[in-house]
Amino acid sequence: MLIYGLMKYIEKIPARYDRMMNFLTFGGHGRSQKIIMSQIAPGMRVLDIGCGSGVLAVKCAEAGAKVAAIDSSPQMLSILKNKIKGSALESRITVVECGSASADVILKGRQFDVIIMSMMLGELSPVVRAKTLKAAAALLSETGRIIICDELWPENIISSAIYHFLYWIFFIPNFILTRTLITPVKNLEKDLSPAGLKIAGRKSIFFGIISILKILKI
């Protein structure tokens, strides 16, 4: 029955993912969303890559943007679809089920002013992450920006060592509460230049653990 209980618990995680993330980061997840939202203006074309249950996508639509929300999990997307069903937001959010690295194939020909990638790059393998950034660059309009919100490995040796230590402590609660193993992103800049992108601004919250990056085309 122990495993049965564990499985039932894990099964229910997607529905409360955002609350758990907020808990794990002592509210940092909610604060980072506010910073992301400050970039959104009415009428903008927004793409949310790895939207999950769509908390940010809904906020962007409420702010007047026209949103495309993509994710690879139909289970997560059905939470989003149920959220917006029958509301005025339904016409402003297009829900697309596809992989992040294949977004340029599925949304071919479309352009976006803002592309959001919040807490998702850390879940990807390096090769898929590099391609996801290229796909995002292909969908970004000339004057558009990409907003990445994620955990980044610190470059400084001492902070990196502390980070290693904290990572191994939080490894288990992280897995138990969110089901995914969110690994902080290493060497993001190395992947940005081949995709024709550069970092134009950076904000850190939650003791520098969560970074919000503004990224533009070179």
Residues that bind another protein (CB under 8 A): 1-4, 6-7, 11, 72-76, 78, 97-102, 105-106, 123-128, 130-132, 135, 172, 175, 179-181
CA dihedral 166, 168, 171, 172 (to 10 degrees): -110
135 vs 177, which CB is nearer to another protein?
135
Nearest to 70 by CA among 36, 37, 93: 93
Minimum CB–partner distance for residue 4 and another protein (Å): 6
1 vs 158, which CB is nearer to another protein?
1
Minimum CB–partner distance for residue 188 and another protein (Å): 16
172 vs 218, which CB is nearer to another protein?
172
**Using CB atoms within 10 A of its CB, is residue 152 exposed (0-12), middle (13-18) or buried (19+)?**
buried
Minimum CB–partner distance for residue 205 and another protein (Å): 27
Minimum CB–partner distance for residue 123 and another protein (Å): 8
15 vs 162, which CB is nearer to another protein?
15
C-beta of residue 213 within 8 angstroms of C-beta of residue 205: no
